[in-house]
């Protein structure tokens, strides 16, 4: 016979929570010789299933000899069963008694199902879990298992519905009823996030509900931040692990030890551990009384000034303050810069900070407590500020274009961090798309006109053009003047159109009658005058009548002989697919020189005087402005888009 050593394994059985770690310990006592090697084995019904590889992640920290221990990490249901230790001496192998991982309890609901036969491809599964009232969980796992994070009621029946999806097709539906484990159902009082006075004693009561068909409670415990509590510790004097109403007493609640700590009650029966439906998160009352108050932040292009008041209560306990300053980068905050401010209630940073950047600041109170003597710190929340961006530089003339209908500006960029710029010309503002110091103006300007231009830098505090979580900060505006040149591209810059004008869209459409303030005569006045005009989409303006024919047959002397029409571009036109519009408006001279009408009338006066030198005293009394833009031209095999502008249609009287 072999002189086998004595092999003792303990404990003889264990219960485990799903996902946790379990340990079995071995004791090896040699009779004649100590084993030269060893290994752990797993069995089922006394039959060897496998020898355990100590290097496998599942069994990391397992040793066969000195010290002898079996460690099973991340326990799951497949780990249930028997285990033994085998060691080898010079004459052969020796086996220990067996130990058993009796049962694995699911802290969460875990579902596992059989995959389809014949290696059927599965793209994903569709699974629902429902109670008698509604569907509680819907999931689309790609593997044949699911861990449910939603907390379900213990000892309750649920319906699981499952089918597989492959290449856009679905398998037949599978349905099965399950019942959650009948683990203990607990409540605690108080729960939530109560305010607990500093140095007071907190007692938490746990009630284990007595449900008739649930197994009896075997064990209770308390957890602090998910770790088991040793109630024999002095801070828990007065606590109990009663099987019906356990209680936890926390003596002399403390800021640093207990603030923002979570506790929960747990109980175990033969089906597993149950935890309280909610936990308690301790907020030690009194800490906020020691915070710096009424914090104020002001910043320039290079520094931040911070002011605050002493705490409203117990200010005599504060021995000083620390200021913490952090700069925002693209994805995070830089390391804090800590400044000791002593008992002062203000601080101004050196003028070395980055303009346009986002900073956050907090004030920390240094507090000396007595009975017992203790130093604690109390911080305010964070206060954020964006430093003012630096003013943009001058317009770069040789890189800019001042054409009235195509202004392109380039300027010297701001000396510091910016995200965009705002450009203002006359009464119109336009933003750049990024931080490049250039813009193509989207409005028409008058040629040979001096305009005031202001350019302002915008900062959102860090590199982003999409999400402005922290608002924005503007620089001081950089002001300058530009003198526009004649229209370089289109010739339509004399009178702007678009916003504020009336619009026509569609095919063969006419405007309402546009009334004149007086009768307008054509030629020598022998013909009857008119007092309204009608705009047509076919490039026709009716003078005292409505005419908008798009037919080529109407374009002869027989049809137009007696008509009073003006034809800037008479043909068959229409707007199509939201492209193409006719903009029109009328203006008359008024007493208020600041009105829109007066501004257009004066522009019209200037244009006529510029191109008709003999009308130097000209003053318009009524102005009609029409623009046909991007209209679709019919009459070809293929439809074509055309654009043309009638800068103005004007009736006037000459005043000398």
Give residue 347's pLDDT: 97
For 220, other C-beta atoms within 10 Å of its C-beta total 21
d(C-alpha 656, C-alpha 652), whole Å: 13
Structural contact between residues 286 and 197, judged by C-beta atoms closer than 8 angstroms: yes
Alpha carbon 334 to its chain's center: 21
d(C-alpha 476, C-alpha 55), whole Å: 67
DSSP letter, residue 79: G
Lowest mean pLDDT among 318-322, 467-471, 522-526, 565-569: 522-526
Kindly tell me if the per-residue pLDDT of 554 is higher than 70: yes
Give residue 1's pLDDT: 56
Kindly tell me if the per-residue pLDDT of 306 is higher than 60: yes
Alpha carbon 249 to its chain's center: 42
Give residue 649's pLDDT: 42
The strand ranges marked E within 310-373 are 318-327, 337-342, 346-348, 358-369
For 486, other C-beta atoms within 10 Å of its C-beta total 11
For 231, other C-beta atoms within 10 Å of its C-beta total 18
Kindly tell me if the per-residue pLDDT of 381 is higher than 60: yes
The reply to whether omega before 427 is within 30° of 0 (cis) is no
User: Does 525 or 644 have the greater pLDDT score?
Assistant: 525
Helix (H) or strand (E) holding 255: helix 255-258
- Residue 372 pairs in a beta bridge with none
Question: pLDDT grade, residue 474 (50/70/90)?
Answer: very high
User: What does the chain come to in residues?
Assistant: 656
Give residue 467's pLDDT: 65
Structural contact between residues 488 and 405, judged by C-beta atoms closer than 8 angstroms: yes
Kindly tell me if the per-residue pLDDT of 57 is higher than 50: yes
Give residue 614's pLDDT: 82
pTM: 0.47
Give residue 635's pLDDT: 61
Most confident of 18-32, 189-203, 381-395, 480-494: 381-395
Kindly tell me if the per-residue pLDDT of 360 is higher than 50: yes
Question: pLDDT grade, residue 644 (50/70/90)?
Answer: low
Closest CA to 325 of 344, 309, 341, 301: 341
Average pLDDT over residues 453-457: 97
Domains of the chain by start residue, with CATH: 6-105 (2.60.40.10), 109-179 (2.60.40.10), 186-285 (2.60.40.10), 289-386 (2.60.40.10), 397-483 (2.60.40.10), 502-654 (no CATH)
Judged by DSSP in three states, 397 sits in: helix
Q: Mind giving me the DSSP string for 109-160?
A: EEEE-PPPSTT---SEEEEEEE-SSSEEEEE--SSSEEEE-S---TT-EEEE
584 Cβ partners below 8 Å, 6+ apart? Answer: 501, 502, 503, 504, 511, 514, 535, 624, 625, 626, 627
User: Does 387 or 256 have the greater pLDDT score?
Assistant: 387
Give residue 655's pLDDT: 41
Average pLDDT over residues 469-483: 93
Distances (CA, A) of 378 to 287, 294, 323, 366: 7, 15, 12, 7
d(C-alpha 177, C-alpha 92), whole Å: 52
d(C-alpha 493, C-alpha 485), whole Å: 11
Structural contact between residues 472 and 581, judged by C-beta atoms closer than 8 angstroms: no
Closest CA to 481 of 400, 369, 581: 400
Average of per-residue pLDDT values in the chain: 87
Question: pLDDT grade, residue 490 (50/70/90)?
Answer: low
Give residue 238's pLDDT: 96
Structural contact between residues 239 and 249, judged by C-beta atoms closer than 8 angstroms: yes
Question: pLDDT grade, residue 652 (50/70/90)?
Answer: very low
Tokens of 48: 């060897």
- Residue 328 pairs in a beta bridge with 333
Any idea what the Cα angle at residue 16 is, between residues 226 and 184, rounded to 5°?
70
Question: pLDDT grade, residue 246 (50/70/90)?
Answer: very high
d(C-alpha 379, C-alpha 576), whole Å: 64
Lowest mean pLDDT among 51-65, 88-102, 488-502, 505-519: 488-502
Lowest mean pLDDT among 42-56, 195-209, 386-400, 496-510: 496-510
Structural contact between residues 103 and 183, judged by C-beta atoms closer than 8 angstroms: no
Average pLDDT over residues 184-201: 90
Structural contact between residues 87 and 38, judged by C-beta atoms closer than 8 angstroms: yes
Question: pLDDT grade, residue 654 (50/70/90)?
Answer: very low
d(C-alpha 307, C-alpha 288), whole Å: 18
Give the count of alpha carbons within 13 A of 609, CB side only.
Answer: 13
Alpha carbon 274 to its chain's center: 36
Tokens of 427: 């009464």
Percent of the chain with pLDDT over 70: 93
Any idea what the Cα angle at residue 72 is, between residues 71 and 78, rounded to 5°?
155
Structural contact between residues 136 and 124, judged by C-beta atoms closer than 8 angstroms: no
345 Cβ partners below 8 Å, 6+ apart? Answer: 292, 307, 308, 309, 310, 321
Each residue's pLDDT tens digit, 578-600? 778 899 999 888 766 556 787 78
Question: pLDDT grade, residue 465 (50/70/90)?
Answer: low
Percent of the chain with pLDDT over 90: 51
d(C-alpha 553, C-alpha 216), whole Å: 101
């Amino acid at each position: 016979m072999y002189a086998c050593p004595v092999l003792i394994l303990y404990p003889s059985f264990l219960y485990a929570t799903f996902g946790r770690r379990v340990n079995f310990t071995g004791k090896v006592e040699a009779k004649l010789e100590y084993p030269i090697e060893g290994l752990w084995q797993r069995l089922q019904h006394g039959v060897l299933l496998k020898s355990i590889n100590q290097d496998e992640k599942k069994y990391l920290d397992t040793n066969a000899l000195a010290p002898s221990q079996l460690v099973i990490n991340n326990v799951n249901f497949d780990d249930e069963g028997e285990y033994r230790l085998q060691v080898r001496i010079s004459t052969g192998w020796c086996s220990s008694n067996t130990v058993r991982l009796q049962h694995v309890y699911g802290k969460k609901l875990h579902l596992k199902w059989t995959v389809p036969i014949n290696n059927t491809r599965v793209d994903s599964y569709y699974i629902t879990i429902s109670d008698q009232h509604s569907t509680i969980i819907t999931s689309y796992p790609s593997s044949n298992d699911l861990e449910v994070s939603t907390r379900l009621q213990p000892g309750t029946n649920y319906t699981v519905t499952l089918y597989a999806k492959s290449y856009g097709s679905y398998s037949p539906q599978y349905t099965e009823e399950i019942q959650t484990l009948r683990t203990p159902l607990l409540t605690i009082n108080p729960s939530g996030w109560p305010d607990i006075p500093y140095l007071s004693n907190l007692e938490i009561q746990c009630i284990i509900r007595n449900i008739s068909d649930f197994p009896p409670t075997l064990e209770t415990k308390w957890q602090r931040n998910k770790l088991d509590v040793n109630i024999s510790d002095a801070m828990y004097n007065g606590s109990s692990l009663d099987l019906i109403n356990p209680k936890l007493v926390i003596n002399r609640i403390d800021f640093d030890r207990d603030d923002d700590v979570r506790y929960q009650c747990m109980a175990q029966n033969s089906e597993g551990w149950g935890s309280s439906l909610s936990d308690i998160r301790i907020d030690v009352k009194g800490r906020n009384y020691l915070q710096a108050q009424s914090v104020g932040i002001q910043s320039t292009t290079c520094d931040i000034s911070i002011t605050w008041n002493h705490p409203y209560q117990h200010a005599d306990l504060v021995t000083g303050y620390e200021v913490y300053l952090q700069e925002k980068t693209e994805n995070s905050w830089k390391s804090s810069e800590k400044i000791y401010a002593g008992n002062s209630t203000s601080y101004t940073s050196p003028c070395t900070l980055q303009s346009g950047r986002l900073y956050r600041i907090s004030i920390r109170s240094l507090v000396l407590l007595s009975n017992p003597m203790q130093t604690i710190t109390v911080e305010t929340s964070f206060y954020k500020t964006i430093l003012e961006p630096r003013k943009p530089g001058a317009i770069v003339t040789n890189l800019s274009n001042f054409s009235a209908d195509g202004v392109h500006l380039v300027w010297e960029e701001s000396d510091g961090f910016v995200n965009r710029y705002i450009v203002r010309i006359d009464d119109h503002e336009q933003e750049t798309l990024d931080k490049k110091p250039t813009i193509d103006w989207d409005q028409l300007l008058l040629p040979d006109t001096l305009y005031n231009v202001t350019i302002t830098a915008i900062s959102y505090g860090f590199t982003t053009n999409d999400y402005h979580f922290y608002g924005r900060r503007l620089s001081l505006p950089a002001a300058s003047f530009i003198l526009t040149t004649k229209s370089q591209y289109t010739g339509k810059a004399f009178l702007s159109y678009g916003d504020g004008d009336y619009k026509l869209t569609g095919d063969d459409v006419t405007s309402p009658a546009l009334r004149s303030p007086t009768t307008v005569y054509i030629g020598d006045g022998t013909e009857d005058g008119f007092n309204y005009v009608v705009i047509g989409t076919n490039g026709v303006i009716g003078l005292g009548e409505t005419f908008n024919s798009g037919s080529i047959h109407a374009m002869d002397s027989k049809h137009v002989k007696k008509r009073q029409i003006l034809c800037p571009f008479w043909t068959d036109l229409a707007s199509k697919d939201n492209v193409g519009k006719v903009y029109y408006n009328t203006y008359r001279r008024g007493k208020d020189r600041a009105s829109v009408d007066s501004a257009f009338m004066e522009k019209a006066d200037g244009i006529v005087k510029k191109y008709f030198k003999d009308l130097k005293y000209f003053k318009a009394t009524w102005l009609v402005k029409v623009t046909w833009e991007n209209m679709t031209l019919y009459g070809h095999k293929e439809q074509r888009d055309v654009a043309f502008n009638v800068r103005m249609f004007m009736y006037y009287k000459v005043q000398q």
